[in-house]
Amino acid sequence: MSGWLRNWLTWWPVAAGFICIMTGICVLMGWAMDAERLKRILPSLVSMNPLSAVCFVLVGAFFVLRSFQDASSHKQPFGWGMRACATLVFISGAAVMVNYLLKGNWGLDQVLFSNKLIPDNPLRPNRMAPNTALNFVMLGGAFLFMQLKSPRGFRFGEVVAVVVVFNSFFALLGYAYKVQFFYSMGSFIPMALHTAFLFFISGVAVLLMRKDQGIMAIVRSDSTGGLLLRGLFPAMVVALSLIGWLRLEGERLGFYGAEVGVTLYTIANISLLGLLILWSARFLYHADIARARVEAERERFFDLSLDLLCVADMTGYFRRVNPAFTTTLGFTAAEILEQPIVQLIHPDDRETTLEAIKKLGTGDFLFQFENRYRRKDGQWRLISWKAQPYLEEGLIYASGRDITEMRIGEEALRKAHGELESRVQERTADLAATEAKFRALVEQSLVGIYIIQEGRFVYVNPKMTEIFGYSTEELLAQPANDLIIEEDRALVEGNIQKRLSGEVPHMRYSLRGRHRNGALLHIEVFGSRSNFNGGQAILGSLLDITVQKEAEEALRRLNDELENRVKERTHALESANQELESFSYSVSHDLRAPLRHVHGYVQMLGNETKGQLSAKGERYLKTIGQASVEMGQLIDDLISFSRMGRTELRMTSVDMADLIKKSIAALELESKDRNIQWSLGALPAIRGDEAMLRQVLANLLGNAIKYTRKRNPAIIEIGCNGEEQGQLVFFIKDNGAGFDMVYAEKLFGVFQRMHRAEEFEGTGIGLAIVRRIIKRHGGKVWARAAVNEGATFYFTLSAAPMSLV
């Protein structure tokens, strides 16, 4: 229904009220001032009775007062006024009616302006028409009925109002068709035109007063019925009235007789009604199709639904169930419908279910109600319900959901949750114990342990306070960098970044810190990237190595000093060596020259004085010569001895057997006229300076040859006695003069001799050289001997490395 129409209908009663009041007052004023127009509209028409005018004022007042009714609560602040108006109107109409019925002439309708009533109409005095009185009775009655709360009273009022409307329409139509009968209603006093009009609008107003109920509810509704009523009814009224009027006018003007008029009238009516019926049939046809489609759609959803949908009645039976219902419970629809609902329900749930149905019976809505239904196979299904009762139909619409599995799942979940909870508690307790253990370890640690986050300590152990001299609070309050000396801060920051960026997982390095008292601390840290309280952190430990560092430093200084001293000493030694070198060079060169000169000039003197000197003189010259030669030998040996101590060793692998053979060969001059039996054992290779060892062998073998001079044969045995303290022991044994072991210690001293020069010549340096060379090879030399029983000389040397053999 369109908005303008709705507004118009809403305001109709108030507008009708005002029109009634205005018209009533106008009519009364017309009576008072003899204004004919106000009383009767046209001179040929009857005027409105003053009592009628008063009644219309009251009717209008009723409508206006009613408009103050509160729309939402239906409270009527002027209910008493309305009731008074309605009662007065009813009584006035009733009084006039009774007067007519009893054929009396009480003149209630003639009280006002009584003097003017009789002359008003030359035919009859002005009175309230009987049908007018009836209308007032009905209108007043309708007002009173409408005020009653019950639907029956309302319906009755509505019917009465319809009668009023028809009655007045009758009069109006009579005026239109100029048929006095209609508006005089079997009486000689006709209903005034404006009276009829006011009754019409008032009657409609009564119908519109309660717009949400009764006929008006249908008229105003968007239903097909409403649409038809709104469209067809006015059209029919207007069209039929018009057709009737045309027929009458045609007859009056003599176009056709009554028979033709009726025929025409009938045909026109049939056509019109036929058209209207056709139109409404078409309209209903389409409306039905549309509704059928909507219903089919709803049915499909009903069938498709996974939830259990049902309609039940108040007597405890299902009326209708959907397929989900039957599949869930395993019964057929018929089986479900034929047994009382309670029989399907778990005995323990029956009481609560009955209570719930009772609650629904009072019109209450039901939600999340749960009960168990029996499946055909005896299993129980838990259903959660939502239900809405429709009392006027006596039906309950319900939607249920099978929550059995969900509930089982929930139970399992709850159980699992409970188990998890207890396990978490156990684990928490374990963790707490572990935490306590590790905390104790950390707190009692001999190294500083810390956690750094965003440049600050977030944890330090007691050792940290000991190392740096600050309290825990002070350490946590200052940037960690403040503890580090400025030169090392960049290093530390860089190292922290390296770990936070993931370049390396952990690092160990040294840095220098500052104790609270200003002392420099040497610290070694080991830190790894970690997480702490949801952020990146460095977790590390540190060791105060100041004492070690200082000791190390002292040691290094000491080492440096020592190094320097060694260098100085070496330098001194080198220069001493240098001096010694040039000394021995000078000795070798400068001492021998004069000796040579002595010898040379002695010889030349001998040549010059050949035959002139006495035998004694000859001997002197010879002795001088010999002495100078001996001196030369001494100098050579001394120089050789001193060189042995200074010359660098050139270590190689030396084949001893080969070397000995060569040495024996080199002594050929000394041994050529001798009977010597050489005996060579197995001789392994050794590691040493070949030139020097050749000197050793030359001296030892030379000695052996020299001291066996008086033996025939001389026996010289050379061999290797195996190992002693990781070194090879060589020996050279002879059967010569030997010596007394008492002097064995003196044997290797410089210029130490065992024999007189006349007996065995020599300078006493040879064995000293031997000892010096063997010592320089890391070996030792010794001798075993007895006087006249030969001597054995032993010396040790390192074996040659296997690869060099």
Partner 1 sequence: MGKLKRILLVDDSPRDLELAIDALEAHHLANEIVTLRDGVEALDYLYCRGPFAGRNDGPPAVVLLDLKMPRLDGLEVLKQIKSDPFLKAIPIVIMTSSREEQDLVQSYENGVNAYVVKPVEFHQFVDAVRQLGTFWAVLNETPGSKQV
Q: CB-wise, 546 or 588, nearer to partner 1?
A: 588
Q: CB-wise, 55 or 638, nearer to partner 1?
A: 638
489 and 513 Cβ atoms separated by less than 8 Å: no
In terms of Cβ atoms closer than 10 Å to its own Cβ (0-12, 13-18, 19+), residue 58 is buried
Q: CB-wise, 181 or 585, nearer to partner 1?
A: 585
CB of 767 to partner 1, least distance (A): 21
Q: CB-wise, 600 or 778, nearer to partner 1?
A: 600
CB of 649 to partner 1, least distance (A): 15
Q: Which residues pair with 731 in a beta bridge?
A: 719, 794
CA distance 377 to 134: 74
CB of 763 to partner 1, least distance (A): 14
Angle at 76 between CA 75 and CA 79, to 5 degrees: 145
For 684, the token pair is 């392994």
CB of 584 to partner 1, least distance (A): 8
- Give the containing element (helix H, strand E) for 427: helix 404-443
Total count of residues recorded for the chain: 805
Q: CB-wise, 101 or 593, nearer to partner 1?
A: 593
Q: Which residues pair with 456 in a beta bridge?
A: 453, 479
Nearest 10 degrees: Cα torsion 341, 342, 343, 347: 150
Q: CB-wise, 316 or 632, nearer to partner 1?
A: 632
| Cα 588 off chain centre by | 97
Binding residues for partner 1, rule: CB under 8 A, are 585, 588-590, 592-593, 595-597, 599-604, 625, 628-629, 631-632, 636, 639
Say how many C-beta atoms besides its own lie within 10 A of residue 618's C-beta.
Answer: 15
DSSP 244-256: HHHHHHHHHTTSS
Strand order in the sheet with 456-460: 456-460, 448-453, 535-544, 520-532, 506-514
Q: CB-wise, 438 or 585, nearer to partner 1?
A: 585
CA distance 251 to 243: 12
492 and 500 Cβ atoms separated by less than 8 Å: no
CB of 642 to partner 1, least distance (A): 12
CB of 586 to partner 1, least distance (A): 9
CB of 690 to partner 1, least distance (A): 15
CA distance 295 to 288: 10
CB of 570 to partner 1, least distance (A): 22
Say how many C-beta atoms besides its own lie within 10 A of residue 559's C-beta.
Answer: 10
Rg (CA), the chain: 76
62 and 142 Cβ atoms separated by less than 8 Å: no
CA distance 483 to 577: 57
For residue 99, CA distances in Å to 59, 160, 418 come to 22, 22, 93
Say how many C-beta atoms besides its own lie within 10 A of residue 661's C-beta.
Answer: 15
Three-state DSSP class for residue 613: coil
Say how many C-beta atoms besides its own lie within 10 A of residue 670's C-beta.
Answer: 14
CB of 669 to partner 1, least distance (A): 15
Q: CB-wise, 121 or 588, nearer to partner 1?
A: 588
CB of 694 to partner 1, least distance (A): 14
CB of 594 to partner 1, least distance (A): 8
CB of 616 to partner 1, least distance (A): 21
CB of 695 to partner 1, least distance (A): 13
Q: CB-wise, 41 or 629, nearer to partner 1?
A: 629
Q: What are phi and psi of 68, to 5 degrees?
A: -80, -5
CA distance 323 to 333: 8
Which residues are within 8 A (CB) of 566 and not within 5 positions of it... i.e. 6 or more apart?
none
Q: CB-wise, 366 or 629, nearer to partner 1?
A: 629
CB of 603 to partner 1, least distance (A): 4
Q: CB-wise, 248 or 631, nearer to partner 1?
A: 631
Q: CB-wise, 578 or 677, nearer to partner 1?
A: 578
Q: CB-wise, 73 or 607, nearer to partner 1?
A: 607
Three-state DSSP class for residue 661: helix
Q: CB-wise, 522 or 772, nearer to partner 1?
A: 772
For 258, the token pair is 């009554």
SS3 letters across 74-101: CCCCCHHHHHHHHHHHHHHHHHHHHHHH
Instruction: Give me the amino acid identity at 275.
Output: L
